[in-house]
Amino acid sequence: MFAVSSLVEKSFEIWPGRLALAARGKGARDAIDAGMDAVREVSLSLLTDAELLSNGRGNVLPRGKAARLALEAMHVFRDAISGDMLPPVLAALPGSVCDVVLAAMRNAADGAGDVEFSVVSLGDAATIHMEPGTTAPQDMDVPAVLGEFMGVLGNGVQGGAAIGGIRSGIPTCGVLDIVAAQSKSAALAGLAAAALADAALAATGSPGHMPRDKLMALGWRGRVVNAAPGFVEPELVWEALSLSVRRGTALREKKLLRAAALGLKGRGRTIGPIDGDRLLRFGVSEWR
């Protein structure tokens, strides 16, 4: 068993928002220092690479490790899921930044001592590592909804999580208020969350919404981006959720998704090992 110790945390402003690092254990400070070094390196090319990826072409060669990782995740996603519902590769980039930074933290921890828990979050994506028997601390510095979702995934969780849907910072063509997805990496989780959100096209949204972030707007140009819909008939709510569940089931069969939670107009669905009743911040009164 690990001894109880406080979190060591730092944060850094970087596109598309605030990046936060946290670690707990004997090697936590060394891990955080290594993570901050990785953040500084990533930041040198991130905006240039994000603009490069936002043009939608697949034959680009990004400078930075995070952007290259996002492209790799997109190739995996494209090979497993066919059709025209693939999200833009930019959906993977915040998560891939988290993946790169956490990998640097883990490499430092291996040489400096035990780290029982570490997490890196950026915007609506996070990469997390927990040793067996360890649970996520309630005071970790991640967005509240994302933190709650990771908290119900159980102990010893590793991989990535991401938030999609209208209430997230990632544009969507669907109508779901919120989608939370967990996968093997935060880059894949970002793509999965976007794909699940985009699948919910059964209800009437508010098309023509322009993302506030210029790079996101560029990445989603040519797509019908939705804002929050008004009243939606109950049967259409169920239909929209069911469409996303079908997409999520396909992603799970391809090992691109471990778990997900979906919410729309006070109703929700879960995929995989999740207790929806513990997701209070999702604002869902009934999970099926």
Q: What is the pLDDT of residues 169-188, one digit of tens each?
A: 999 999 999 999 999 999 99
**Which residue type does 90 have?**
L
- H helix count then E strand count, the chain: 8, 11
Instruction: Work out the average pLDDT over 195-204.
Output: 84
Give CA–CA dist 281/100, Å, rounded: 28
Instruction: Work out the average pLDDT over 219-235.
Output: 86
The 10s digit of each residue's pLDDT in 7-47 is: 899 998 999 999 999 999 889 999 999 999 999 999 999 99
pLDDT of residue 1: 38
Buried b (16+ CB within 10 A) or exposed e, 172-184: bbbbbbbbbbbbb
Highest mean pLDDT: which range of 77-81, 147-151, 245-249: 245-249
Give CA–CA dist 263/237, Å, rounded: 9
Instruction: Work out the average pLDDT over 265-284.
Output: 92
Q: Flag whether pLDDT at 201 surpasses 70.
A: yes
Helix, strand or coil, per DSSP, at residue 63 = coil
Residue, of 180 and 57, whose pLDDT is higher: 180
User: Could you give the domains of the chain?
Assistant: 8-287 (3.10.520)
Give CA–CA dist 7/273, Å, rounded: 27
pLDDT of residue 56: 64
Helix, strand or coil, per DSSP, at residue 49 = helix
Round the average pLDDT of the chain to a whole number and report it. 89
Q: Model confidence at 2, in pLDDT bands (50, 70, 90)?
A: very low
The 10s digit of each residue's pLDDT in 102-121 is: 999 999 876 555 888 999 99
| Contact indicator for 258, 193 with CB cutoff of 8 Å | no
The pTM (predicted TM-score) of the whole model is 0.93
Q: The tokens of 267 are what?
A: 């109703």
